Amino acid sequence: MAGIGTRAIHTHNHTMNTGFQFPDGFLLLPEYFTRRAQEDLLRHVREGVRSAPLYRPVMPRTGKPLSVRMSNFGPLGWITSKEGYRYGPHHPVTNKPWPKLPDCLDQLWQKTANWPSPPQACLINYYDEKARLGLHVDADENAADAPIVSVSLGDQALYRLGGPQRNDPTRSLRLSSGDVVVLAGAARHCYHGVDRIYPGTSTLLPKGGRINLTMRVVGKIT
Ligand code: MD6
Ligand code: FE
């Protein structure tokens, strides 16, 4: 694992005629994980999804399936179903507890989150080449100001970051395997999403696609 600072990009605020300013608290650490560390992490993800299989969640109310498949690590997992979004201790299909968060992710949290408590949930998102994730703000956590730390594995993604309002200007970034993104401070309340996956841009996953892991402090479950 490369240390922070060796390749950290402190995304500087320039507007490039787009009216976009990187929000405070947004941090991109390109290739934080070496190839070797990515392979290690992937092994843990594979082990996790053996006991907590990726499932296809559906949108609240409409029941429309998401294109991203999901699972979780940790005491709590983020779940969406026709009943709504929530955090819960059990896999919605197997009803078993989520697998324990791998140590390497715990260490990533300790090095990057600058937050006094450990993450309670780690959402695992799997994107095939056609999957996308619409612009959203993560707002189902009572610990609304705790940062979210995210890791990308596999094919590159076109990630879009906006502001606190849905119609604020946005900026698109390509995320690559091993990259870490931290949303803290103001950035924690900013819209973001994944517009597309670039197939064939990584050899980490033999069948292609992209995995994104996001660690969260949830606070009280309501
Ligand atoms: C993704 N990431 O990269 C989607 N959320 O596939 C997120 O939705 C996200 O990267 C909160 C914090 C960081 C993230
Ligand atoms: Fe998110």
Tokens of 7: 């390749």
- 210 within domain boundaries: yes
CA-nearest residue, atom 14 of ligand 1: 150
- 5 within domain boundaries: no
- Give the pLDDT confidence score for residue 14 in this predicted structure: 52
Q: Is the CB of 133 under 6 A from ligand 1?
A: yes
Q: What is the DSSP letter of 55?
A: B
- 108 within domain boundaries: yes
Q: Is the CB of 125 under 6 A from ligand 1?
A: yes
Question: What does the alpha-carbon distance between residue 166 and residue 190 come to, in Å, rounded to a whole number?
Answer: 8
- 58 within domain boundaries: yes
- 222 within domain boundaries: no
- ∠ CA(215), CA(117), CA(91), 5° rounding? 40
Tell me how far the alpha carbon of residue 96 lies from the centroid of ligand 1, in angstroms.
Answer: 25
CA-nearest residue, atom 8 of ligand 1: 193
Q: What is the CATH number of the domain that holds 90?
A: 2.60.120.590
Q: Is the CB of 177 under 6 A from ligand 1?
A: no
- 6 within domain boundaries: no
Residue position matching structure tokens 């619409």: 134
pLDDT per residue of the chain (222 residues) written in tens, 0 to 9: 344 444 455 555 554 556 788 999 999 999 999 999 999 999 999 999 999 999 999 999 999 999 999 999 999 999 988 889 999 999 999 999 999 999 999 999 999 999 999 999 999 999 999 999 999 999 999 999 999 999 999 999 999 999 999 999 999 999 999 999 999 999 999 999 999 999 999 999 999 999 999 999 999 887
- 30 within domain boundaries: yes
Question: What does the alpha-carbon distance between residue 199 and residue 158 come to, in Å, rounded to a whole number?
Answer: 11
Provide the residue range defining the domain that includes 191: 13-216
- Give the pLDDT confidence score for residue 13 in this predicted structure: 59
Name the residue of 148, 152, 170 whose CB sits within 8 Å of the most ligand 1 atoms, as the mutation to test its pocket.
148
- 193 within domain boundaries: yes
In sequence order, what are the residues at sequence separation of 6 or more whose Cβ sits closer than 8 angstroms to the Cβ of residue 105? 41, 44, 73, 119, 122, 151, 213, 215
Burial letters 173-205, b for 16+ CB under 10 A, else e: bebbbbbbbbbbeebbbbbbbbebbeeeebebb
- Give the pLDDT confidence score for residue 8 in this predicted structure: 55
Ligand 1 atom nearest residue 68's Cα: 6
For the chain, how many structural domains are there in total? 1
Question: What does the alpha-carbon distance between residue 126 and residue 154 come to, in Å, rounded to a whole number?
Answer: 10
Question: What does the alpha-carbon distance between residue 152 and residue 149 come to, in Å, rounded to a whole number?
Answer: 10
